[in-house]
Amino acid sequence: MIDGIPNLRDHIEFERCIAFVGSGPSVPIYGTWLELTRHLCHGCGISVELNGESSAETLQSAAQSAREANPGVYFQLLGDHFGKVTQTNPNYDLLMRIPFKSYVTLNFDPLLAQESQKPEHRCCGVMTYPDLDRANIGRRAVYYAHGLIREGEYPNEDSLVLCKSDFDRAYADNGWLLTFLIPTLAKEQVCFVGCRLKEPEFQRLFEICKERQEEIRRTAGGTPPTRIILLEELVLWSKDVTGQTVRNEYEERRREAEEDEFFRGLDIKVVRYPRLDENHVGLRRTLQTAASFPTMRLIAGFDAENLP
């Protein structure tokens, strides 16, 4: 570790690891899930109270109401919002420079897809929901698990996972998405970047994966593959007895311990990078360090390519 920057090579084996990319790198450009849902509701004429405490279920239901109120406007707003590329985040380039086995994202925006098409990144293609074929998982493919809105295009009613009916269909038993995600999360090393994994669908998904890994252990032996999540160190401020603003290190450690325990319950190890500024430079330096590592072939955990 250099200046608090974690060495990802200590935790994962890049060529055998899937990068699971959440909305973090895209939020500065496209906004949060909460902001998107408010935008859809307003545009479709739906009045709903949403705030930072709104749960994933509440956001899904609000998006459902917007879609049912005016489906034409709903899909047009999504296309206008995500189908325009005015800038990108250099973290996408860094993620592609790291020799991950493949990439899975829950984002709709085309930034990762566009980055993957640069010849130097040597990706085999982009797979989009519901056509998520694991046959390409070892060939540096990019999987848009919740759907992709390409630049200049508009989505249709079957191409995205956003509102409640979408989630119900996609995460149903034997649905397209679970058929892809269960073997991916059960058999592959995974590095989560820009994710929180608070949706109830993920709690159920990881429980299924745990059962699947137990079956693999009993029949084939070995140890489960590593899962890690990159999180920024918490920096919290409060007033002391004199009224001055100071770091609240006790609350920082308490909340970090709660987060660590939550992810431990999902069999995910938390790897924290330092909060250097408001622009997540700590994450960028972590990825820069990883991108500079030479390619190595290491064997550990379940051998996903040889498992059923």
Q: Does the structure show a pLDDT above 50 at 237?
A: yes
| Structure tokens that stand for 53 in this block | 């405490």
| Structure tokens that stand for 211 in this block | 């059962």
| Global pTM value | 0.89
Contact (CB, 8 A) for 99 and 17: no
Q: Does the structure show a pLDDT above 60 at 264?
A: yes
**Identity (one letter) of the amino acid at 148?**
L
Q: Does the structure show a pLDDT above 70 at 2?
A: no
Domain assignment of residue 221, yes or no: yes
Express each pLDDT in 164-192 by its tens digit: 999 999 999 888 899 999 999 999 999 99
Domain assignment of residue 204, yes or no: yes
How do strand 17-21 and strand 189-193 relate by DSSP bridges? parallel
**pLDDT class for 295, splitting at 50, 70, 90?**
very low
Domain assignment of residue 234, yes or no: yes
Express each pLDDT in 149-158 by its tens digit: 999 999 988 8
Residue 177's contacts (CB-CB under 8 Å, 6 or more residues apart) are 129, 130, 132, 145, 146, 161, 170, 171
CA dihedral 263, 284, 180, 127 (to 10 degrees): 160
Q: Does the structure show a pLDDT above 60 at 54?
A: yes
Express each pLDDT in 64-123 by its tens digit: 999 999 999 999 999 999 998 888 889 999 999 999 999 999 999 999 999 999 999 999
> Cα separation of 175 and 286, whole Å?
36
Determine the structural domain holding residue 233 and report its residue range: 8-25+88-293
Domain assignment of residue 80, yes or no: no
Residue 57's contacts (CB-CB under 8 Å, 6 or more residues apart) are 164, 200
Domain assignment of residue 261, yes or no: yes
**pLDDT class for 220, splitting at 50, 70, 90?**
confident
Domain assignment of residue 207, yes or no: yes
Express each pLDDT in 186-204 by its tens digit: 999 999 999 989 888 998 9
**pLDDT class for 296, splitting at 50, 70, 90?**
very low
Q: What angle do CA 50, 56, 60 make, to 5 degrees?
A: 80
Which region among 52-61, 76-85, 272-281 has the lowest average model confidence (pLDDT)? 272-281
How many distinct structural domains can be found in the chain?
A: 1
Q: Exposed e or buried b for every residue in 225-252, given b needs 16+ CB within 10 A?
A: bbbbbbbeebeeeeeeeeeeeeebeeeb
Supply the mean pLDDT for the chain: 90
Q: Does the structure show a pLDDT above 70 at 1?
A: no
Domain assignment of residue 132, yes or no: yes
> Cα separation of 265 and 98, whole Å?
28
Domain assignment of residue 2, yes or no: no
| Structure tokens that stand for 141 in this block | 């493919």
pLDDT at residue 293, rounded to an integer: 61
pLDDT at residue 76, rounded to an integer: 97
pLDDT at residue 303, rounded to an integer: 53
Q: pLDDT exceeding 90 applies to what percent of the chain?
A: 71
